[in-house]
Chains A and B, each alone.
Chain A
Amino acid sequence: GAVVSQHPSWVICKSGTSVKIECRSLDFQATTMFWYRQFPKQSLMLMATSNEGSKATYEQGVEKDKFLINHASLTLSTLTVTSAHPEDSSFYICSANDRRGIETQYFGPGTRLLVL
């Protein structure tokens, strides 16, 4: 149980385009979903926290107009990187908290984004 999926697993796009990443909890309902960014050999950097039906809470320094988060249901959250630039190239990982389970997060497999 507690499986989180992400789609796509990797994406290459041209500078200036927008990219949408989906995060789904497959066998549980998520109270909260989280979006992280990870650079090589570094730990996870929390970008934002989202609850179903409400606006996401962004961490300091994260541009909310650039990284749009939509939490449409208790099993789906999307991250859209708008007008992507090469510096947005990174590994993006989502996680979810099981509303009926233990106090922890279950992570998706990650999405590797390369902006040319």
Chain B
Amino acid sequence: QKEVEQDPGPLSVPEGAIVSLNCTYSNSAFQYFMWYRQYSRKGPELLMYTYSSGNKEDGRFTAQVDKSSKYISLFIRDSQPSDSATYLCAMSAGTSGSRLTFGEGTQLTVNP
């Protein structure tokens, strides 16, 4: 079993839809949770960063962490075609030199 599970999709939604992306994990030592966005042929870009449980909002993006359920989510409101990318969840225990454990990534397409 993988430490981090993420549905690879692909996920296709119409413009303006609310998108929900999720990851589950098994390692209770994880304390730092991130979402990265990766466009084709580019490096991942940090979207959201959360420490421990709770919600964090930044514009159209909301990240949620539920450590009791070992479940994290990323919501995208009013999705735009420019949001079409692969979204990677990542997490860290804060040890081992900030080593990250990644999900497989979910490929999202927002159709105009």
Contacts and interface: CB of A to CB of B under 8 A. Distances in A.
Interface extent on A, as a size class?
20 to 34
Contacts, number: 62
B100 A102 contact: no
B45 interface: yes
Contact of B98 (A6, A103, A107, A112): A103
A93 B100 CA distance: 14
A93 B49 CA distance: 20
A63 to B, nearest CB: 20
Interface in B38-60: 41-46, 49, 51
B41 A91 contact: yes
Nearest to B99: A49
Contact of A107 (B44, B49, B97, B104): B44
Closest 8 CB pairs of A and B: A107-B43, A97-B98, A32-B97, A103-B32, A110-B43, A109-B43, A107-B44, A43-B104
Interface of A: 2, 4, 6, 31-32, 34, 41-44, 46, 49, 51, 91, 93, 95, 97, 102-110, 112
24 contacts: A31-B98, A32-B98, A43-B105, A44-B44, A46-B99, A49-B97, A51-B97, A91-B41, A93-B44, A95-B43, A97-B97, A97-B98, A102-B51, A103-B31, A103-B51, A104-B34, A104-B90, A105-B46, A105-B90, A106-B46, A107-B44, A107-B45, A109-B42, A110-B41
